Structure 1
Amino acid sequence: MKRITIDSDAYKSLAEKIERIYNYIERQTEKRAVPSDPSTVWIDNAKAAELLEVSTCTLQRLRSAGEVTYSIRGGRVRYRLSEIERLIAGRVFPRREKSDNL
């Protein structure tokens, strides 16, 4: 095993840089953390369509029919995550047993 020696000042400088990098990554992680309240999270049209497993045209039809609440900000359609969860929960149906004829 090789031993590497480093000047004390250089070591302190390196340790401070590593600490700053660590703190930066921690701050970025906190910014990206999803809030626990889904009514405060807004998602875009594409993400909503993906979560609902429908096309963006279907989302447009749902908006036009007044079946989903939305907001338009800066020309982009946004949905609250809680609204998307409501739609997902509303389309759950009890499982029917398959018949032998199908």
Structure 2
Amino acid sequence: MSATEKKVEQHYGYHEHKDAHIKRLHRIEGQVRGIEKMVVEDRYCIDILTQIGAVSTALESLGFQILEEHVKHCVAGALASGDEKEAQAKSEELLEAVKRFAKTR
């Protein structure tokens, strides 16, 4: 089996909810376009900031969902595999992801 075939068959934790995540991202994209339109139309600063806050909250919420799915699928799978090296690597990866994610808040 080639590397390409392996990649096609591999699913990550978010795979089960992929369609919902894509729909959510499209809504967020629409919100961002709305903010752009507000700026073009010289709308009131506070109204723009309110919409920016809504987009930030929506992205943060999606990020937490994907992080949760990563823990339940990728990290849990590595821990259950019995492969100590893989479990350690996924644990370290998770800690780094949490640190990066926390910095965005």
- Which interval holds the TM-score relative to the shorter structure? 0.3 to 0.5
| Higher share in strand | 1
TM-score (norm 1): 0.34
More helix by share: 2
Higher relative contact order (CA 8 A, sep 6+): 2
